[in-house]
A and B are shown apart, each in its own frame.
Chain A
Amino acid sequence: MQEVRTTWRKKRKIENPLIRYGILVLVLAYLYLAGTGVEVNADRVSRGLSRVGLLFSGFFQPDFQSRGKYIVEGILESVAMTLASSAFAMILAVPIALGASRNIVPKWVYLICRVFLMLIRSLHVVILGIIFVIMFGYGPLAGVLTLMVNGVGFIGKLLAEDIENIQEEQLEAIRATGASWLKTVVYAVWPQVSTRFIGLSIYRADISFRQSTVIGIVGAGGIGAVLDTAMGRYDYHTAGAILLVIIIMVLVTEYGSSAIRRRIV
């Protein structure tokens, strides 16, 4: 007689128990192998833990005064880097985005632009920062170039996706009037993506500001350099002040950028 199951059981994601437990065992084995590779120097940690109090006291008694001049300069530099790099990125991203849209350019242009976008997007902003510092020396110029290249990758890819999703009818209508390629872009493509482009650019400026706070660690200017110096001198009160300034600035730009984007979209 066949046994009838009367209790209901949740359906399993992987029905085969061998595969199900096999995956579990593999995951556990990996975690064990990887976990034993993590060396915890208990002596060093215990010495460090005594500094936790100092670190926290730095946060709760931030010192904006003694190195205030550098903090203000660093923040201004970060803001200037963000604005300048965003402007360049906006200008450069448009032709690349047009080139990376399959529906308006021939295939070879498309492939070149896509490969270019993929290459610059694969490099982390800090690695870009290192490369530009080597090429152009320390300072905010390297930072601007870093954020610009990173921004071109970001705006270029997302804008290209928007251009590929535009309505074909309008494109066809403008083409039917005998318009040149440039006129097609200006009158059929651009009106459909311009608000998205502005939204993307503002969002990108927001991201650039966040990134401008780290690339200073590798020498590309901005508030990151000031923070790195403060940490290097074990000056936790100044470091705490800088972190608070960064957190507040990031919140302000995030709130501002999302408010503007909501208004224009």
Chain B
Amino acid sequence: MPIITKGNSLSWKRKTPSQQRTQFLVVLSIVVIFLISASYISKQTMWEFVSDAPIQIRDFISRMFPPDVKYFGRVAPALWDTITISVFGTGIAVVISFALAILAAKNTTPNSAVRMVVLTIIVASRSVNSMIWALLIVQIVGPGLLASIIAIAIRSLGMISKLMYEAIEEINTEPIEAITATGASRAQIFVYGYLPQLMPSFVGTSVYRWENNIRESTIIGIVGGGGIGMLLNSAINRLAWDQVMSILIVIFLTVVVAEWVSAKVRKSIS
């Protein structure tokens, strides 16, 4: 903490002059980068459309209320489909991830070539959003629940297997040695040595991913077909804002409930 002498009075400042200079330069460069980006975006924007935004917003909100209550009857089956997408998508991803994780963990992988291939799959899966996966899958299987399930599964693979193989790598070897010393078979070593150590983190990861997938399932129907997202998309295309509002309310409640369930389950296993 520097104390600055000015004449014969002492004053305290938080930073030394050189610290202040570097801070100023950092802030300046951030501001410059920001201004360049902002001007780029401004050039790409039709400001005429923006200028009538207040009217659009007022119109939009006035047509959203009151929400169309009768529409909840249509939303309910779509909600069931959305839950199906999230459960099956997560389930498929968990099963495949289990195999991938064993192949990717340093201490269980058969060889480093396999490990590299699996790590590449994991990275590709994690870097691409589920909506983009859905764009690809729809081309193969056609729009519908199946496309959405596969897209969610592919997207979840990466994250689940990454967390799983990290858990496998961090495994404590002492219990395994102890069980091996009793003369247990390979299967018994796996069931009594590895599984008890891995299960809590595997279940936690899967439930956490499921919670994320419920959110993604609500919108994936926009491109993948099936579920609430498809209804949302068609309501928006028909400009039926009161129905859009009903759908948004249902999505909100679903996400809140899913978060609660996921928190409960994770608390009970830890």
Interface of A with B (CB < 8 Å)? Answer: 10, 30-31, 34-35, 37-41, 44-45, 48-49, 51-52, 55, 76-77, 79-81, 83-84, 87, 122-124, 126-127, 130, 134-141, 144, 187, 210-211, 213-214, 217-218, 221, 224, 227-228, 231, 234, 239, 243, 246-247, 250-251, 254
A139–B41 Cα distance when bound, in Å, is 9
Residues of B within 8 A of A250 (CB): 127-128
A87–B236 Cα distance when bound, in Å, is 31
Contact indicator B132/A243 (Cβ below 8 Å)? yes
A83–B34 Cα distance when bound, in Å, is 6
Q: Which of B30, B41, B149 contacts A144 (CB 8 A)?
A: B41
Determine how close the nearest CB of chain B comes to the CB of A7; give it in whole angstroms.
13
Q: Which of B56, B83, B232 contacts A134 (CB 8 A)?
A: B56
Residues of B within 8 A of A247 (CB): 123-124, 127-128
Contact indicator A213/B144 (Cβ below 8 Å)? no
- A45-B140, A84-B34 as given contacts; A214 in contact with B88, CB under 8 Å: no
Contact indicator B37/A34 (Cβ below 8 Å)? no
- 7 tightest Cβ-Cβ pairs between the two chains A and B: A137-B49, A250-B127, A80-B37, A48-B140, A44-B142, A83-B37, A34-B84
Residues of B within 8 A of A44 (CB): 141-142
Contact indicator B56/A231 (Cβ below 8 Å)? no
Residues of B within 8 A of A30 (CB): 87
Is B139 interfacial (CB-CB < 8 Å)? yes
Contact indicator A51/B40 (Cβ below 8 Å)? no
Residues of B within 8 A of A254 (CB): 127
Contact indicator A39/B144 (Cβ below 8 Å)? yes
A49–B137 Cα distance when bound, in Å, is 10
A44–B232 Cα distance when bound, in Å, is 25
- A83-B33, A141-B45 as given contacts; A136 in contact with B88, CB under 8 Å: no
Is B260 interfacial (CB-CB < 8 Å)? no
Within 35-81 of B, Cβ neighbours of A (below 8 Å) are at 36-38, 40-42, 44-46, 49-50, 53, 56-57, 60, 80-81
Is B215 interfacial (CB-CB < 8 Å)? yes
A192–B215 Cα distance when bound, in Å, is 34
What are 10 A-B residue pairs whose CB atoms fall within 8 Å in the complex?
Answer: A37-B84, A38-B146, A41-B146, A44-B142, A122-B252, A124-B216, A136-B49, A137-B45, A239-B136, A246-B132
Q: Which of B36, B132, B219 contacts A124 (CB 8 A)?
A: B219
Contact indicator B49/A48 (Cβ below 8 Å)? no
What interface size band does chain B fall in? 35 or more
Q: Which of A41, A49, A126, A139 contacts B131 (CB 8 A)?
A: A126
Contact indicator A217/B223 (Cβ below 8 Å)? yes
Task: Flag B19-36 by CB within 8 Å of A: 1 or 0 each.
Answer: 000000000001001101
Contact indicator B40/A76 (Cβ below 8 Å)? yes
Task: Flag B238-270 by CB within 8 Å of A: 1 or 0 each.
Answer: 000000000010011001100000000000000
A201–B251 Cα distance when bound, in Å, is 28
A219–B37 Cα distance when bound, in Å, is 19
Determine how close the nearest CB of chain A comes to the CB of B22; give it in whole angstroms.
13
Q: Which residue of B lies closest to A83 (CB)?
A: B37
- A84-B38, A251-B127 as given contacts; A34 in contact with B132, CB under 8 Å: no
A122–B253 Cα distance when bound, in Å, is 9
Q: Which residue of B lies closest to A13 (CB)?
A: B269
Contact indicator A139/B44 (Cβ below 8 Å)? yes
Contact indicator A124/B222 (Cβ below 8 Å)? no
Within 181-234 of B, Cβ neighbours of A (below 8 Å) are at 192, 196, 215-216, 218-219, 222-223, 232
A250–B222 Cα distance when bound, in Å, is 23
Contact indicator A51/B140 (Cβ below 8 Å)? yes
Is B135 interfacial (CB-CB < 8 Å)? yes
Q: Which of B41, B131, B135, B146 contacts A84 (CB 8 A)?
A: B41
Residues of B within 8 A of A243 (CB): 128, 132
Is B180 interfacial (CB-CB < 8 Å)? no
Contact indicator B149/A38 (Cβ below 8 Å)? yes
Contact indicator A135/B56 (Cβ below 8 Å)? yes
A115–B129 Cα distance when bound, in Å, is 28
Q: Which of B141, B216, B222 contacts A218 (CB 8 A)?
A: B222
Q: Which residue of A lies closest to B220 (CB)?
A: A126
- A87-B30, A124-B215, A141-B50 as given contacts; A214 in contact with B132, CB under 8 Å: yes
A110–B44 Cα distance when bound, in Å, is 38
Contact indicator A134/B60 (Cβ below 8 Å)? yes
Residues of A within 8 A of B127 (CB): 210, 246-247, 250-251, 254
Is B145 interfacial (CB-CB < 8 Å)? yes
Contact indicator A231/B136 (Cβ below 8 Å)? yes
Task: Flag B85-113 by CB within 8 Å of A: 1 or 0 each.
Answer: 00110000000000000000000000000
Q: Which residue of A lies closest to B239 (CB)?
A: A134
Q: Which of A35, A80, A136, A217 contacts B53 (CB 8 A)?
A: A136
Contact indicator A135/B192 (Cβ below 8 Å)? no
Determine how close the nearest CB of chain B comes to the CB of A24; give it in whole angstroms.
15
- A80-B40, A135-B60, A217-B223 as given contacts; A122 in contact with B255, CB under 8 Å: yes
